[in-house]
Amino acid sequence: MSKNFSFFVLALYLSALLQVSVLAIPIGILLIMIWYLANGSKHLIIISLLFSLFLSSGSNIRISYILLATTLSLAIFVVGRDYLPHRFTATVGLAVFGIITWEVALFILVGLKI
C-alpha cells in the first residue's frame, strides 16, 4: 500500500468525523469519486468498506446500510461516467446526483429498519 493510499484513508476517516460532527454532507463519497477519477477502480472495494466502517462507528448506523448506499452512489457515478461525455459539468452533475442518492438511500434504509 502506498503512502498516498494511507493519507487517503486518513482523509476518509476525517471526512466521516466531519460528517457526524460538523456538516451532514457525505464528503467521504466525494473523496471516493475523486479517487476513482484519479486511480480508476484500484482499491475501490477497500476504500468503500473503510469509509462505511468509519462512518458506522461514528454514527451508530449499520455498516451494511452505509455500504449499500455507498455502492449505489458509486455505481451511478461509474456507470454515468461510462455513458456520459467526460466533461467537467457532467462529472460534477454526476457527483452531486451520487451524493443525493447516498443521502436518500441511507435515509430510507435507516427508516425501514430491516
Partner 1 sequence: MGVFSNLGPKQKIFLVLISLIVVLFLLENLLPFQIISPLQKILLPVQASIYKTRKDVGGLFQTVFEVGSLRSKNQNLEQEVAFLQSENARLEKLEGENKILKDQLGVKSPKNKSILASVVGEDPIFSSSRLLLDKGSRDGVTNSSIVFVKDILIGQIFSVGSHSSTVRLLSDPETKIPVVTKSGVQGLAQGEFGNQLVLTKVAQNKKITEGEFIFTSGESGLPRGMVVGRLGKVDYDPAQLFQKGQITLLLEPSLLEIMFISVEDR
Residues 6-24 as b/e (b if ≥16 CB within 10 A, e otherwise) read eebbeebbebbeebeeeee
What minimum distance in Å lies between the beta carbon of 90 and partner 1? 18
What minimum distance in Å lies between the beta carbon of 11 and partner 1? 15
Q: Which is nearer to partner 1, 33 or 106 (CB)?
A: 106
What minimum distance in Å lies between the beta carbon of 7 and partner 1? 17
Place of cell 460528517: 19
With contact defined as beta carbons under 8 Å apart, do 47 and 8 qualify? Answer: yes
Q: Which is nearer to partner 1, 6 or 57 (CB)?
A: 57
Q: Which is nearer to partner 1, 8 or 99 (CB)?
A: 99
Binding site for partner 1 (CB under 8 A): 16-22, 24-26, 41, 44-45, 48-49, 53-64, 67-68, 71, 74-75, 78, 103, 106-107, 110-111
The single-letter code of the amino acid at 40 is G
CA distance 18 to 33: 18
The single-letter code of the amino acid at 25 is I
The single-letter code of the amino acid at 4 is N
Q: Which is nearer to partner 1, 8 or 77 (CB)?
A: 77
